[in-house]
A and B are shown apart, each in its own frame.
Chain A
Amino acid sequence: ETGVTQSPTHLIKTRGQQVTLRCSSQSGHNTVSWYQQALGQGPQFIFQYYREEENGRGNFPPRFSGLQFPNYSSELNVNALELDDSALYLCASSRQGDTEAFFGQGTRLTVV
């Protein structure tokens, strides 16, 4: 059974650019959630995807968007990057209806 994998592990982007982060969910999991973790803070919920549809969203602007693919993998896209977008982006997968979510190791995004 493979765990949740995210790519890339580290990324440096310039303010105003766009970025795409990727997540492969754990085998058998059909729900993917994305979180933003600023340095020294707890993760903040961005959104969740189930059956390729957004299924809940936190307090993030529309320039944060996502996709889920038929194999349940997912992408997080962030447009018009701002310095405050610098953070660890975490993907978590679960089975629909399960309370337990499994996290990947995250992508460290630095915006300069």
Chain B
Amino acid sequence: QQQVKQSPQSLIVQKGGIPIINCAYENTAFDYFPWYQQFPGKGPALLIAIRPDVSEKKEGRFTISFNKSAKQFSLHIMDSQPGDSATYFCAAIRGRQLTFGSGTQLTVLP
């Protein structure tokens, strides 16, 4: 059972573009929603996270938008750079367990 659905599976943008990655969850018991960035051969690294009582959070070029009623949240990357090319995972936390989405492979063209 996939509790966190992520789309798109892959995304290609030009440098300076704003890629948007979307996630939807089913379990309303989730209480924290992080995004992770993973480069090939590396473990996931926390980018930014949000609690469900907040509708938007910005950290540098990364913004999470959260819609609690729709049970959806998204990651926006402003002024994307080739160095942002990686796989991005949304996740949801209930208790101590992270449930990950299936990932989005982002390519930022120079």
Contacts and interface: CB of A to CB of B under 8 A. Distances in A.
Contacts of A45: 97-99
Contacts, number: 57
B45 interface: yes
A44 B100 CA distance: 7
Nearest to B44: A103
A90 B93 contact: no
A86 interface: no
Interface residues of B, number: 24
Interface residues of A, number: 25
A105 B49 contact: no
Q: Output the residue of B6, B89, B98, B101 with the most chain A CB within 10 A.
A: B98
Contacts of B96: 31, 33, 48, 50, 55-56
Contacts of A55: 96
B102 A42 contact: yes
B19 to A, nearest CB: 18
Interface of B: 4, 6, 32, 34, 36, 41-46, 49, 89, 91, 93, 95-103
Given A42-B103, A45-B97, 6 more contacts: A35-B98, A48-B97, A50-B96, A56-B95, A100-B49, A106-B42
20 contacts: A31-B96, A33-B98, A40-B103, A41-B103, A42-B89, A42-B100, A42-B103, A43-B89, A43-B100, A48-B97, A56-B95, A56-B96, A90-B44, A92-B43, A99-B34, A100-B49, A102-B46, A105-B41, A105-B43, A106-B43
